[in-house]
Homo-oligomer: A and B are copies of this chain.
Amino acid sequence: MIGCGLIGTSMALAIRGKNSDARVDGVEVSHRHLTLATDSGAYQQVYSSFPDNSYDLAVLAVPIQAACALLPEAASKATFVMDVCSVKTPICQLASELALSERFVPSHPMAGNSGQGPASADKSLFRDRPWILVEDWPACHALAPWIESFDSRIEWVESAEQHDAAMAAVSHGIHLMSVTAMLAAAFEADNSDATNWELLTGPGFRDVTRLSQSPHDFWVPTLMANKQSVGRYLKAARDTMMEIERCLEAEDNEALARVLKAAKSAKDAWTTAKTQSGRDV
Using CB atoms and an 8 Å cutoff, list the residues of chain A in contact with chain B. Answer: 110, 130, 132, 155-158, 162, 165-171, 173-189, 192-194, 196-202, 204-216, 219-221, 223-224, 227, 229-238, 240-242, 244-245, 248-249, 251, 253, 256-257, 259-264, 266-271, 273-274, 277, 279, 281
Contacts and interface: CB of A to CB of B under 8 A. Distances in A.
Contacts of A244: 176, 179-180, 234
Given A167-B200, A179-B240, A179-B244, 4 more contacts: A207-B208, A207-B210, A224-B256, A227-B248
A192 B233 CA distance: 12
B179 A180 contact: no
B274 A213 contact: no
Given A204-B211, A231-B248, A174 B185 contact: yes
A57 B258 CA distance: 38
Contacts of A177: 177, 180-181, 184, 208
A281 B268 CA distance: 28
Q: How many copies does the complex hold?
A: 2
Contacts of A277: 199
8 contacts: A110-B200, A174-B204, A183-B259, A186-B263, A198-B273, A213-B267, A216-B257, A227-B248
A216 B165 contact: no
A192 B176 CA distance: 21
B168 A253 contact: no
B132 A212 contact: no
A278 B169 CA distance: 37
Contacts of A266: 182-183, 185-186, 212
Contact of A224 (B171, B189, B251): B251
9 smallest A-B Cβ distances: which pairs?
A216-B260, A186-B266, A184-B237, A207-B207, A227-B248, A198-B270, A169-B185, A212-B263, A184-B236
Contacts of A178: 204, 208, 263
B249 A201 contact: no
Given A207-B210, A242-B238, A223 B256 contact: yes
Given A224-B251, A230-B248, A245-B231, A237 B180 contact: yes
A205 B174 contact: yes
Most buried by B among A157, A181, A186, A214: A181
A182 to B, nearest CB: 5
Nearest to A216: B260
A181 B232 CA distance: 13
A188 B207 contact: no
Contact of A241 (B207, B234, B273): B234
Contacts of A204: 171, 174-175, 178, 210-211
